[in-house]
Structure 1
Amino acid sequence: MAVRIVNILFEVLKMAILLEVILSWVPSGRDSKVWSTVRSFTAPIMEPSEKINDKLFSNLPIDLSPIIAYFIASIVQSIILKILGII
């Protein structure tokens, strides 16, 4: 049961990251209530990813922070699932 809940939460988080990326491409996307809701959910993982992106990839013309956040979310999900598998 706990494994299923963790999987659902992390899949929702990853989908929210993808939705945030899509909304960033829409001209009025960042001004919408959907953006605010999605950003409030993804901020705990996106803000550190943005800092990592600024430090490591500041010279690139594209923002890699969503990819970094998605990768971190996948790693944390795997760690939590392994811990739950041990218990």
Structure 2
Amino acid sequence: EGADHAITPGEGADHAILAAAAETLPDGVLTEESWAPWTQAIAAKTGAKGKMLFQPLRLALTGKPHGPEMKKLLPLIGRDETLKRLRGQAA
């Protein structure tokens, strides 16, 4: 499936969530502890919650709808790559 390899932001609400995610991404090294405050900031900015919040983030960051806990992946992806993926730039 070619879609698994493309990491691109979705339309409409998903785009707003990814834009807010890029704006609120913490500075410095990302850790597992970065995930909860970051997603709370995105939720506060967009009003999105639950699957409507987490699914666009997972798809943008991993290119897949399911997988390991995102808080565990965030430090592995790193801040620079996370920003690129949120902005829809090829990994």
Q: TM-score range by the shorter chain?
A: 0.3 to 0.5
The higher relative CO (CA closer than 8 Å, separation ≥ 6) is in 2
TM-score by length of 1: 0.35
Q: Which has the higher helix share?
A: 1
State the TM-score, normalized to the length of structure 2. 0.34
